[in-house]
Amino acid sequence: MNVFVYDEMHLKQLFIISAMIKRHRIKQFIVLIAILSVPVCAYPQTDSTNGDVESFTLGQCIDYAIKHQPSFNQSLINVRVAKTNNAINLAGWLPQANISGNLIHYNQLPTTFLSDSLGDATIPRRTGVVNTFIPELTVSQTIFNPQLLYAAKSAPLYIKQARQIRDSTQIFLISSISKAFYNLLLTLEQVNVLKEDTARLDRNVTDTYNQYIGGIVDETDYDEAVISLNNSKGQLVQQIENIVPDYATLKQLMGYPPEKQFNVSFDTLQMMQEIGFDTTEQLAFEKRIEYQQLQTNKALQHEVTGYYGLAFLPTVSAFYNNYLQYEDNNASQLFNTSYPYSYFGLSFNIPIFTGFSRLENIHKSRLQEDILNWSEINLRSQIYTEYTTALANYKSNMYNWKMLRDNVTKAKNVYTIVELQYKQGIVAYLSMIVAESNLISAEIGYTNALFQLLSSKIDLEKAMGDITIQ
Task: State the DSSP string of 404-463.
Answer: HHHHHHHHHHHHHHHHHHHHTTSS-HHHHHHHHHHHHHHHHHHHHHHHHHHHHHHHHHHH
> What region, left, alpha or beta, does residue 156 occupy, with left being phi > 0 and alpha being psi -120 to 50 degrees?
alpha
Using alpha carbons, select from 333, 296, 275 the residue that is nearest to residue 450.
Answer: 275
Positive or negative: CA dihedral 85, 89, 93, 94? positive
In angstroms, the CA 451 to CA 444 distance is: 11
The reported pLDDT for the residue numbered 426 is 83
Using alpha carbons, select from 292, 71, 305 the residue that is nearest to residue 160.
Answer: 292
The reported pLDDT for the residue numbered 213 is 84
Sequence-distant (6+) residues with CB within 8 A of 328 are 129, 130, 131, 334, 336, 337
On the CB side of 251, CA atoms within 13 Å amount to 16
In angstroms, the CA 211 to CA 220 distance is: 12
Cα angle: 59, vertex 60, 65; to 5 degrees = 100
Sequence-distant (6+) residues with CB within 8 A of 443 are 193, 196, 197, 408, 411
DSSP H helix total and E strand total for the chain: 10, 10
The reported pLDDT for the residue numbered 52 is 63
The reported pLDDT for the residue numbered 128 is 84
Stretch (H or E) spanning 295: helix 289-309
pTM (two decimals): 0.80
305 near 365, Cβ under 8 Å? yes
138 near 318, Cβ under 8 Å? no
Domains and CATH numbers, the chain: 68-86+151-262+275-302+357-464 (1.20.1600.10), 95-145+314-349 (2.20.200)
Average pLDDT of the chain is 85
In angstroms, the CA 397 to CA 228 distance is: 29
In angstroms, the CA 322 to CA 402 distance is: 86
39 near 6, Cβ under 8 Å? no
In angstroms, the CA 462 to CA 387 distance is: 9
The reported pLDDT for the residue numbered 222 is 81
The reported pLDDT for the residue numbered 433 is 80
- pLDDT tens digits for 226-284? 888 898 888 888 888 989 999 999 999 999 999 898 888 888 777 788 888 888 999 99
- Three-class secondary structure of residue 267 per DSSP: coil
Percent over 90 (pLDDT), the chain: 53
Burial, 406: exposed, middle or buried (Cβ in 10 Å; 0-12, 13-18, 19+)? exposed
Stretch (H or E) spanning 249: helix 219-254
In angstroms, the CA 323 to CA 133 distance is: 10
Stretch (H or E) spanning 111: strand 111-115
In angstroms, the CA 313 to CA 458 distance is: 52
Q: For 22-61, give one letter per residue: b (16+ CB within 10 A) or e.
A: eeeeebbeebbeebeeeebbebeeeeeebeeeebbbbeeb
In angstroms, the CA 21 to CA 346 distance is: 90
Those residues of the chain that have pLDDT short of 50 are 1-9, 11-12, 20-50
Q: What is the CA radius of gyration of the chain?
A: 40
E-strand ranges in 283-413 read: 315-328, 338-349
In angstroms, the CA 188 to CA 68 distance is: 25
In angstroms, the CA 375 to CA 201 distance is: 58
